[in-house]
Amino acid sequence: MIALLTSIILVIPAGVALAQQPPAVIEKMHPALDAVVDVKAEITVIADGFQWVEGPVWIEKEKMLLFSDVMQNSVYKWTAQKGAVLYLKPSGYTQPAPRGEELGSNGLALNAQGQLVLCQHGDRRVAVMNAATAGPQPQYTTLAGSYNGKKFNSPNDLAIKSNGDIYFTDPPYGLEKGPQDPARELFYQGVYRIAKNGAVTLLTDSLTRPNGIAFFPGEKSLLIANSDPQQPHWYIYDLNEQGDLINGRIFFNGTAIFQKEPRSPDGVKINRKGIVFAPGPGGVWIINKEGKALGRIRTNIITSNCAFTADQKTLFITADHCVLKVALK
């Protein structure tokens, strides 16, 4: 049973022109959705006019949302008071030679020291910004740029464990000429770990298009979205005592929904109750920890990623050229 129960509300930040949006709705697929989100919750566009937005992260100290515009090599900041303004440029490609395609930052995260960590497509590395989040500067230190002497494809998304280890995915989307780019050095799509001492470990090379990545509560298991039309699945792995991935299996099979609505899994976030928020076909899928779909925030626009506020009462959604938000319970 699916109930279509709410419409999109457009809010125009100062200086931002909004494109017309199709209606957005919340679809209820299971009664347990009622404990996660009110089906009458307003879905609000808070910023628009970008090229391709991704990798959002909420900075509680500054009460701001940061998100990447991958094609514009920029990170933007959104606050309730001032809307969206440019925060950081260049964000992902710092070389002098011009290039196009997905050259900017993608996934963003905060480490335990409160520093901004970025997956940088153009520079093909995971890096940390050498400035406080309150005073951004486009100066970076590489945390990892290669594995066994070969440059990464284009680090895409990341999750930071409580011990400081950084887990990240490395599909080929940021290569200027895609998987066939002559500059490509690693001919698989890896998932890696960067230890606190800088050591890089390949955790798996078996996924065809690893993308979004997030820990379940307790950090004993990890979820990875696979953005492959032939295998549009979300995979779950257990972690052993060393933090390696074991017992990989399908958590949620997206084949049936992909056949109806062609859009592969992308970013992913998991709340403190183990509820998965998984952008994919049609919007953000809401899935319980047993892999049962509870519902969907149907955006009717290509949806890339999402992020919670610190209290997890608000969900921000990056979708194509705009950013949305919706209240959660």
Distance, CA of 9 to CA of 19 (rounded, Å): 13
Contact 249, 236 (CB under 8 A): yes
Amino acid 263: pLDDT: 86
In what helix (H) or strand (E) does residue 260 lie, and over which residues does it extend? helix 255-260
Classify each residue of 31-42 as buried b or exposed e, where b means 16 or more C-beta atoms within 10 Å of its C-beta.
Answer: eebeebbeeebe
* Cβ atoms 210, 226 nearer than 8 A: yes
Instruction: Decide if pLDDT at 8 tops 70.
Output: no
pLDDT at site 22 = 62
What is residue 209's three-state secondary structure?
A: coil
> Taking the alpha carbons of 180, 183, 188, 190 in that order, is the dihedral positive or negative?
negative
Q: What confidence tier does 1 reach under pLDDT thresholds 50, 70, 90?
A: very low
Q: Could you report the per-residue pLDDT of 194-213, keeping only the tens digit for each? A: 999 999 999 999 999 999 99
Q: Which residues pair with 92 in a beta bridge?
A: none
Res 21: pLDDT: 57
Q: Among residues of the chain, what percentage have pLDDT more than 90?
A: 89
Q: Does residue 4 have a pLDDT over 70? A: no
Q: Mean pLDDT lowest for which of 11-15, 50-54, 166-170?
A: 11-15
Looking at residues 46-63, what average pLDDT do you find?
97
On whether the CB atoms of residues 199 and 147 are closer than 8 A, the answer is no
d(CA 103, CA 81): 30
Q: pTM to 2 decimals? A: 0.93
Given a contact cutoff of 8 angstroms between Cβ atoms, the answer to whether 276 and 265 are in contact is: no
CATH number of this structure's domain 49-315, picked from the four choices 2.120.10.30, 2.40.128.50, 2.60.40.10, 3.20.20.140:
2.120.10.30
Instruction: Give the residues across from 325 on adjacent strands.
Output: 44, 316
As a whole-number percent, the residues of the chain with pLDDT over 70 amount to 93
Mean pLDDT taken over the chain: 93
pLDDT by residue (tens digit) across 289-320? Answer: 999 999 999 998 999 999 999 999 999 999 99
pLDDT of amino acid 2: 35
What contacts 213, CB < 8 A, 6 or more positions away? 157, 158, 159, 167, 168, 169, 191, 222, 223, 224, 225, 268
Domain borders along the chain are 49-315
**Range with the poorest average pLDDT among 17-31, 81-95, 283-297:** 17-31
Are 251 and 236 contacting, i.e. CB atoms less than 8 angstroms apart?
yes
